[in-house]
Amino acid sequence: MSKMIRSKRVLGLFVFSLLFLSAVFISQVSAEKKVYKLKIQSAFPRGDLSMETLKVFADSAEKYSNGQLNIKIFAEPEIMPGDQLFGGTQLGVVDMLHSMGGMSGGIVPIGYVEFNLPLAFRIDEKDTFEEKAQAVRDFYLNNGFMDLLRKEYAKHDLYLLDIHTYGPVPFVLSTKPVASCADLKGMRIKAEGGNLAFHGAVGMQGTAVSPTETYMSLKLGTIDAAEWDVSAVTGLKWHEVAPYWIRGMECDHTTGHILVNMKKWDALSDDLKAALHKAAEDYWYATVTAYENEIEVVKGLVKQGKVTEIMLDEACREQYRKAAYEMWDEMAKQDDASAQAIKMIKSWRGIK
């Protein structure tokens, strides 16, 4: 074989190797820079504070992923009604949902424990709004509670990414002044999940009403009171037709969650999963700040006489407490996971 032929073959192999390595490199770079366009829908309408604050989550996800995670936010009912969101996320109609456990407790029983177990997240031993919030987050992350929840949602092909706060819930607005359980008896209240029974225990009539229909229901007298979070005033303006803020039965912080379609979650690389976790943590702290600020806005409206703050009398608060602890024991009977969750909460709160 001539030197020229050998040289050509060596040159050909060299060029081929360069082309192969170049293709591999380009392929790797392309994969690393793949942009994931994801959709998240909230169970709550525009004007709801937690829904509006979701922009922090989307912006942080894009930042931490160097642009690979592009999350588009939708409010209820822009893609589907809120009561269809759990199933829609399972099916991949949306990639993530923003909601709370009470809306899916009929499917995942521990959801009723997760969302506003009455008085469970009343943190009287802490002074500030932020300290109370951190106590709740520490309980979730450091006591196995989050692990238990993730295990239960995973059975339904959903990954529990993280939690966020709604601040004090139930945040109750009434069309008339009330100060005792005698005043509450017979009143019709728009409520969610387990709170239907919670208010029922003091004589109120719990009614399921869509958040988008609540303002008009209060105005027309179809219902006498409604519960939400503080954005019932600052975003949804329910105080215009129900100006009495009834207090004494609320938690200091009530949590919601972000759930991710499990197939979409599993398809992400570890670094993108980490980016989503960091973004969700940013969102948690953003909701703490947002709800604290909005509570201050409501206190300002109280000073202006546009909202009237009323504390229930001690006898009524005690009736609510008694009902709450009875509900804890009943919820523990739902399934093994609920029993474990209630046991954790009782130990944490020092309740026998």
Q: Where are the domains of the chain?
A: 34-167+254-299, 171-251+304-349
230 pLDDT higher than 80: yes
Q: What is the pLDDT of residue 32?
A: 58
Q: Which stretches of the chain are assigned E, i.e. beta strand?
A: 36-42, 69-74, 96-99, 158-165, 171-174, 188-190, 205-207, 225-228, 244-247, 255-261, 308-311
* Domain 171-251+304-349 in this protein, CATH class: alpha beta
d(Cα 242, Cα 338) in Å, to the nearest integer?
Answer: 35
pLDDT tens for each residue of 312-334: 999 999 999 999 999 999 999 99
What pLDDT, in 10s, does the model give residues 242-267?
999 999 999 999 999 999 999 999 99
162 or 117, higher pLDDT: 162
Report the alpha-carbon distance of residue 299 to residue 239 in Å, rounded. Answer: 13
pTM of the model: 0.83
Residue 101 · residue 257 · CB < 8 Å:
yes
Q: Residue 309: which of 262, 261, 239, 256 has the closest Cα?
A: 239
CATH fold, domain 34-167+254-299, is: D-Maltodextrin-Binding Protein; domain 2 (3.40.190)
So what's the pLDDT on residue 203? Answer: 95
φ/ψ of 81, rounded to 5, equals -60, 155
Q: What are phi and psi of 93, to 5 degrees?
A: -60, -40
Query: Do β-strands 96-99 and 158-165 pair in parallel, antiparallel, or remain unpaired?
Result: unpaired
**pLDDT at site 260:** 98
Lookup: tokens for 119: 């008085």
Residues 180-189: tens digit of each pLDDT: 999 999 999 9
Q: Which two tokens stand for residue 346?
A: 């009782």
Domains 34-167+254-299 and 171-251+304-349 share a fold: yes
What is the number of other CB atoms lying within 10 angstroms of the CB of residue 256? 26
First CA to last CA distance, the chain: 92
Express each pLDDT in 14-40 by its tens digit: 444 444 544 444 444 444 589 999 999
